[in-house]
Each structure stands twice: as C-alpha cells, then as structure tokens.
Amino acid sequence: MNHHSGSSAKRKPATARGAKTRAKILRAAETVFAERGYEHGSIAEVAKEAQVALGTFYIYFPDKKSAFTELVDELGRKLRASLREATAELEDRLEIERVGLRTFLDFTTDHRGLYRIVRQAEFVDEPTYRRYYTSLAEGYAQALSRAMDKGQIRDLDPETVAFCLMGLADFLGMRWVLWKQAGDDIERTLDSAVKFLQHGLAVAEPPQSSPRRKARASKTKGKKS
Amino acid sequence: MNHHSGSSAKRKPATARGAKTRAKILRAAETVFAERGYEHGSIAEVAKEAQVALGTFYIYFPDKKSAFTELVDELGRKLRASLREATAELEDRLEIERVGLRTFLDFTTDHRGLYRIVRQAEFVDEPTYRRYYTSLAEGYAQALSRAMDKGQIRDLDPETVAFCLMGLADFLGMRWVLWKQAGDDIERTLDSAVKFLQHGLAVAEPPQSSPRRKARASKTKGKKS
DNA sequence: GACGAACCTGAATGGTGATTCATGATTCAG
DNA sequence: CTGAATCATGAATCACCATTCAGGTTCGTC
C-alpha cells in the first residue's frame, strides 16, 4: 500500500507501553523469520514469541509483510551506520576497505538472523531488497569515486567496483559466518581477502607510508580541482 | 528422506512416454518457480503449464520440494559444464578468470529463471543450496591452488579467493543481468571487474618466463620499474 | 472513583494449496 | 485380441495460517 518511507506501521504507538510492545513484536518477528523463514514463520509464532495475543500484532502492523520489510530497512540503516562509524576517522581508501570488511563480518556475526532476513527479502518484496543493496551501493560508489579522483585507488567504474566488493563481502559472510565450520580460520580468510581486494584496487605504485599521494593527472575525469 | 544423490524421483519413467511427461513437468516447474517463486508457485500451476493433470505430478515427483531441488542440481551441473567447456583450452589463470566471468554472465542471461531458483534454494532446502556453491567452490579452489603453485597468481587462501570471486560474479549478475537498466553498459562493467580481479590475483611481478617457483621473499622491495 | 483513550485478547472466518486416491485410458507383449 | 503394467485424471481431503472483530483490560487524569 504505502510506497513511501516511514509509515509501514498501521498506527504508531501513543504511549511508552505501546512502543514497548511494538518493539517486542519486532524482535520476535526477527527471531521467527530468521529461524523459520518468512513463509514458514507464522504470525501466531511471532505473537507467542513476543508473549502477546495474536490480534496484538495487527495493532502495530498492517500485515505480515510490513513487519518483515521494516526489519530489512532497519538492518540497512544499522549496517550503514556501523560502517560509517567504523571508518569515519580513516583517510586512506585501502585502509577503509580493510576495516570495512572486518566491520561487515563482525556485524554479520552479531546479526546472523538479520543476514538471513535480508536474503529472503528478494522473494518477499523485491523493492525492499533492491533498496537495501542500492542504497548501500550508492554511498559506496560515491566514496570510491572520490578516492579515484584523489588517486588513492585505481580508476574503474565505481558502481561496478561497489558491487564487486559487496558481493565479495556477502559471500565471505555466508561461508565464514553462516556456514562456519570446525577448522575455519577467519583471520586467515580476512587476510587473504584484504590482500586480494587491496591489490585489485591499488594504483600501480604500492603505498608505503605516506598515503597522501598527490593526485597524478592520470585519467581522472577532472571532478574537483 | 533420501539424502543421497540420484533418487529424488518417486519412480523413474519406464517408457519413453513417461520420460517425456516427466521432462515436460520439470520444464514447467522451472517456469513457474522462476516467475512466481517457490512458495507462491503451486503444483496446480505447474501441472497446468505442463498440460497434465494435477495428480500426474506426483507420479514423477514425491513432492513439491524434490522437483525444485532437482532443478537446482541440474543448474549446477549445467553451469559447471559451461565453465569447464569455455575455459578448457586456456592455460593462463588470469585469462581463465576473464573468460569465466564473461561465461558466467552469459549463462545467467540465458538462464535468468534458473538464477532466481538457486537463490531461493537457500530457504527451500539449505543442503541443496550449499551443495550448489560448495561443489562450485571446490573445483574453483583446486584450480586456483594449482595456479598458485605454478606462480601464475598471488599466493592466497584458495577457498577464500574462490568465494570472493563467486560473490563478485554473483553480484554482477544480480545487478547487470537481473536488474539490467536503461543506460547500463555491461562491457564497461566487465572491463572494470576483470581489471579489478586480475590485479587482485596477479603476482607482484608480471610473469615473464619461468613461472615455476611457489613463494619467494614476500616484501619485494624493488618493484619493477 | 470514574471516564475514555489506548491497549490487549483469542476464537472464528475464509482462503489457499499440497497431497491422496479411486477411476479410467494407453500401450504392448504374447 | 487381451490383460496387466504404465500412465493420466481431477475432485476430495486435510492442514495450515493470515486477518478480523466483538469484546475485555489498563492507566492517567480530573
């Protein structure tokens, strides 16, 4: 129904009590949808998990789907905030990528359930799913573009690189977080992955100690001066 | 029930007529599951699409899920065969990666529907989903490992790199095949992606003549000039 | 100390769809 | 031909929810 941003809720709670109940339901939905999947998880289960009656769910959400999409949007915001915060102080793009990858994997570890939820969104509500990745990719591509202009990284199509890096991170999360196995060494994996992506991005001359290279006039599409 | 490989069918057709009907049903299932999703696609729709009666489905498949998993396994075999064939003649790993990526994207373009099907497998039958990627990754990692031994590419954890490359390809397929947009230029994307991954994999010194050694001093100070 | 808004409850409704099965059609070896 | 092995049919069965709604309950406040 409501294509716009904030109003997926049927009614926003007017009291603290209501807000608390709504939050309880959302957390329960997270648990149920993550464990049983969207299609197999029932509102009855969600209500039970939240320790409220069935009908209570419909006081706060117009239907099953909207609780789900709210979870996806929430996760997107949290992840972007997490990445932003972790890399806020950093200047060098290669360094940012290293920290960003680790942050992503940590985030995934702390939110296994939500990770599964996003992936299901593709088949529950495509627009929500796309929004999750495109909004991530947008900021990513922009940052990469700026780093290219500054000559910090190789000059490539920013959107392409953004998707490459997201896909890489996504699969590492799938394999080393969701499918974690006995002998796995995530540090070794992170190390290899970072080497791979840094060399993929790095400009011809390897960075040594002064990451403040002046932008050589290579092929920069003369953005800022 | 049947954890093993080949017998997802309730009964294998005894006559050519039966085999034909079974195939018709499987193609119909592909269409329906791709268009409507596994959960929303019904056996009734599959039967209708295949132009057989509802009950006929159950002559050839024990249940809905097994037709689906058979599609996923089939796709895995086809994709691996496609990649193997496209790169059979090639020697250089970097070249193989370039061709492999293009082949994957072409394959995806030709099998949009199947692409969607694999992704759903994660929530329909996890083991089938994992099998799809792990069997791909296994061969991939092995090939990478050999290339590392030969000094064709950088020495990294092969499984990690395999997942990085699969993720990268997966996301490019998602964005530039499934989400294809008006102004998109897939050639440009392929070009950027290949540059990225080749630099990520390439050994520090461009291979010249004797690609024999495995690992030498890591921190090669004096880069080539 | 009672009034109303905000909340909460859970049985009942309605719809969907996987799977079964009794019955009929085809095929073909003998 | 003829019967039995195969194959095909689709109405009926059975389970499982999403969503509704006709009442209760709680809480702040005047």
pLDDT of residue A33: 98
8 Å CB contact of A163 and B175 = yes
For residue A211, pLDDT over 70 is answered with no
**Residues of chain B below pLDDT 50:** 1-8, 207-225
Q: What pLDDT is attached to residue B14?
A: 80
Cβ–Cβ < 8 Å for B193, B186: no
Nearest CA in chain B to A195: B200
Q: Does B121 touch chain A (CB under 8 A)?
A: no
Which residues from B are below 8 Å from A133, CB to CB? 174
Mean pLDDT of chain A: 88
What confidence score (pLDDT) does residue B8 get?
A: 46
User: Residue B205: its pLDDT value, please?
Assistant: 57
Share of chain A above pLDDT 70, in %: 85
Six token digits for residue B92:
């250089």
Q: Which chain A positions have a beta carbon within 8 Å of B163's beta carbon?
A: 168, 171-172, 174-175
Shortest Cα distance from A113 to chain B (angstroms)?
A: 13
- Which residues from B are below 8 Å from A195, CB to CB? 154, 156
The mean per-residue pLDDT over the stretch A84-103 comes to 96
Nucleotides of strand C under 7 angstroms from a protein beta carbon? 5-12, 16-22, 27-28
pLDDT at A201: 87
pLDDT at B202: 84
pLDDT of A66:
97
pLDDT for A13 equals 87
Q: What is the mean pLDDT of residues A17-46?
A: 97
Q: φ and ψ at B61, to 5 degrees?
A: -135, 135
Instruction: For residue A37, give both structure tokens.
Output: 């999947």
| CB spacing of A154 vs B197 below 8 angstroms | no
Q: What is the pLDDT of residues A145-189, one digit of tens each?
A: 999 999 999 999 999 999 999 999 999 999 999 999 999 999 999
Domains, chain A, with CATH or none: 15-61 (1.10.10.60), 64-201 (1.10.357.10)
In this model, does residue A39 exceed pLDDT 60?
yes
